[in-house]
């Protein structure tokens, strides 16, 4: 009788991989013991258990503003004039602190209140949040990442949470077939569905970027992976993703890392795509003529009158094989969501009286109308007058342009006030007012997390109002940003990228 084959016998390659994983796990345990850290998965599980023990919601008014942070979410309250902040992180060069605070800001009196509710999610950054008025107000949160204090360990979430704004209670929504763990992704609401795209996951050995697209139906509470026709955006995090009505969205820019052999390079994506639905079929379309903003790891937000806004951001440029330069922005850009066309926004406080030559150029430029982004050339629309029944504002040309482009702004540009250059700031629009909170400032090869806050009336576009002043920058306890930037969050992204890669 011949020998029976063992169907459960493992191949040599699988055994080798298992041994390697075991060695790495043992090595990590020793490192964590030396650092006084526990395994990150155990830490998160314990936090969830402790949050679930909370019997009832409690609320307190803060005596001052929240701490400095980036990669949090700032979401307009769906039924009242408030902003909702959740999560985020702070890093001082040596240690990282990640938050799960749920904070409410009242613009009328400038007060902050913290709500601690039963069953809260564990701390995270570079996640996404959406608020809807259904069921008297809900806040939905998906994904993100948790970083251990020494940044030795990283944990990416794939969980989905719902917070009832009236009952003040968290619910962890368990639904199969959803996206894999990630941060630096983007999420928008179209009708009664959440759309999530992209992001990345870094397990310490491999960093993967995603180009998948999922929907979550708020009525059936089911995930579905979409496979639209046409060529869509490649894998990335920290892109700009904005809804257009209830049946389409636009994706612009983003960030990823590309491995070439043993080397790795950064890639700033400067393309734009539109996702549309006809009947039951979804399809991608590349907008080849649309000029992109400095969208790499920038913060974007929707506004009334079919517009989106981006503030700040950073793009990485390779100086040579060993040097990488990041260029930060303090520009405010507007995306016309009907034409999918970017415009630089110049505030009235930054202008002087226009010269006769500028006025002539303005009149000539505003006489031309373009209907599709792919038909637009940068030099054809130097200044655009955008108007609705409420207000009129004048916008410069595309914010990113070549030396051959002609960009005319209204008057001479004056010194800016308001928020300084930064990446991964939190943005929200509530009742036609744009708010900017925190973010990350790169200075002298160091990264500082900010805690300032500003507002801008989008009807008047006069000047930024300072709501919270930035305190003197704290001491940076790390050596430089190189070590941090290879392992920390990437948002704006979001990220994120990110995070950012928020």
Q: Which residue from 242, 241, 243, 215 is spatially nearest to 227, judged by alpha carbons? A: 215
Enclosing H/E stretch for 146:
strand 145-147
Asked if residue 130 lies in contact with residue 188, where contact means CB atoms within 8 angstroms, the answer is yes
Q: Which residue from 199, 204, 155 is spatially nearest to 178, judged by alpha carbons? A: 199
CA–CA–CA angle 309, 114, 174 (5° rounding): 75
The Cα–Cα gap between 395 and 376 comes to 16
Residue pLDDT tens, the chain, 502 long: 444 444 444 445 444 444 444 444 444 454 455 555 789 999 999 999 999 999 999 999 999 999 999 999 999 999 999 999 999 999 999 999 999 999 999 999 999 999 999 999 999 999 999 999 999 999 999 999 999 999 889 999 999 999 999 999 999 999 999 999 999 999 999 999 999 999 999 977 789 999 999 999 999 999 999 999 999 999 999 999 999 999 999 999 999 988 777 777 888 898 999 999 998 899 999 998 666 555 556 778 999 889 999 999 887 665 555 666 678 889 999 999 999 999 999 999 887 655 444 444 343 333 333 344 443 333 333 333 444 333 334 444 444 433 333 333 434 445 678 999 999 999 999 999 999 999 999 888 899 999 999 999 999 999 999 999 999 998 898 865 544 443 344 444 444 333 445 5
Enclosing H/E stretch for 359:
helix 356-366
Strand-pairing partners, residue 8, are none
Three-state DSSP class for 48?
A: helix
Asked if residue 478 lies in contact with residue 446, where contact means CB atoms within 8 angstroms, the answer is yes
Give the global pTM: 0.81
Which residue's structure tokens are 């969208």?
Answer: 295
C-alpha distances (whole Å) from 387 to each of 347, 352, 371, 384 are 15, 21, 16, 10
Q: What pLDDT is attached to residue 279?
A: 86
The Cα–Cα gap between 28 and 22 comes to 10
What are the chain's domains?
A: 31-485 (2.120.10.80)
* Range list of H helices, 273-375: 356-366
Which residue's structure tokens are 């994120």?
Answer: 496
296: left (phi over 0), alpha (psi -120 to 50) or beta: beta
Q: Which residue from 477, 406, 469, 410 is spatially nearest to 448, judged by alpha carbons? A: 477
Q: Which residue from 120, 247, 265 is spatially nearest to 193, judged by alpha carbons? A: 247
Give backbone dihedrals phi and psi of 292, rounded to 5 degrees, phi first.
-90, 155
Asked if residue 229 lies in contact with residue 281, where contact means CB atoms within 8 angstroms, the answer is yes
Q: What pLDDT is attached to residue 351?
A: 79
């Amino acid at each position: 009788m011949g020998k029976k084959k063992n169907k459960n016998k493992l191949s040599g390659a699988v055994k080798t991989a298992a041994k390697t994983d075991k060695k790495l796990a043992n090595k990590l345990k020793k490192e964590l013991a030396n650092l006084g850290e526990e395994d990150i998965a155990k830490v998160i599980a314990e936090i969830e258990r402790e949050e679930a023990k909370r019997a009832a919601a409690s609320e307190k008014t803060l005596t001052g503003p929240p701490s400095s942070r980036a990669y949090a979410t700032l979401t307009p309250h769906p039924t009242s004039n408030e902003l909702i902040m959740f999560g985020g992180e702070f890093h001082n060069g040596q240690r990282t602190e990640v938050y799960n605070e749920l904070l409410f800001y009242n613009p009328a009196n400038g007060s902050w209140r913290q709500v601690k509710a039963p069953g809260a999610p564990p701390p995270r950054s570079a996640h996404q949040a959406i608020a809807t008025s259904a069921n008297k107000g809900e806040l939905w949160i998906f994904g993100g990442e948790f970083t251990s204090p020494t940044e030795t360990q990283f944990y990416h979430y794939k969980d989905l949470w719902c917070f009832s704004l009236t009952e003040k209670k968290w619910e962890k929504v368990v639904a199969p077939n959803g996206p894999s763990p990630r941060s630096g992704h983007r999420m928008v609401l179209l009708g009664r569905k959440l759309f999530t795209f992209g992001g990345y996951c870094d397990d310490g050995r491999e960093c993967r970027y995603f180009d998948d697209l999922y929907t979550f139906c708020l009525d059936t509470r089911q995930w579905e992976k979409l496979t639209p026709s046409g060529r869509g955006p490649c894998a990335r995090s920290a892109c700009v993703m904005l809804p257009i009505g209830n049946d389409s969205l636009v994706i612009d820019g983003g960030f990823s890392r590309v491995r070439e052999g043993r080397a790795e390079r950064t890639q700033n994506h400067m393309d734009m795509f539109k996702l549309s639905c006809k009947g039951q079929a979804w399809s991608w379309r590349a907008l080849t003529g649309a000029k992109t903003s400095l969208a790499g790891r920038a913060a974007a937000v929707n506004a009334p009158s079919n517009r989106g806004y981006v503030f700040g951001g950073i793009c990485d440029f390779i100086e040579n094989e060993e040097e990488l330069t990041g260029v930060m922005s303090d520009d405010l850009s507007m995306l016309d969501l009907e034409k999918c066309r970017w415009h630089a926004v110049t505030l009235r406080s930054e202008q002087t009286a226009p010269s006769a030559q500028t006025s002539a150029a303005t009149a000539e430029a505003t006489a031309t109308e373009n209907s599709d982004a792919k038909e637009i050339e940068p030099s054809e629309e130097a200044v655009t007058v955008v108007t609705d029944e409420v207000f009129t504002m004048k916008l410069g040309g595309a914010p990113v342009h070549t030396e051959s482009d002609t960009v005319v702004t209204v008057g001479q540009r004056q010194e800016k006030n308001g928020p300084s250059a930064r990446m991964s700031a939190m943005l929200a629009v509530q009742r036609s007012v744009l708010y900017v909170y925190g973010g990350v400032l790169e200075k002298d090869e160091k990264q500082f997390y900010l805690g300032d806050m500003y507002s801008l009336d989008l009807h008047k576009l006069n000047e930024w109002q300072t709501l919270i002043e930035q305190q003197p920058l704290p001491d940076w306890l790390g050596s430089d940003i190189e070590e941090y930037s290879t392992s920390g969050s990437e948002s704006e992204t979001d990220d994120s990228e990110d995070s950012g890669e928020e």
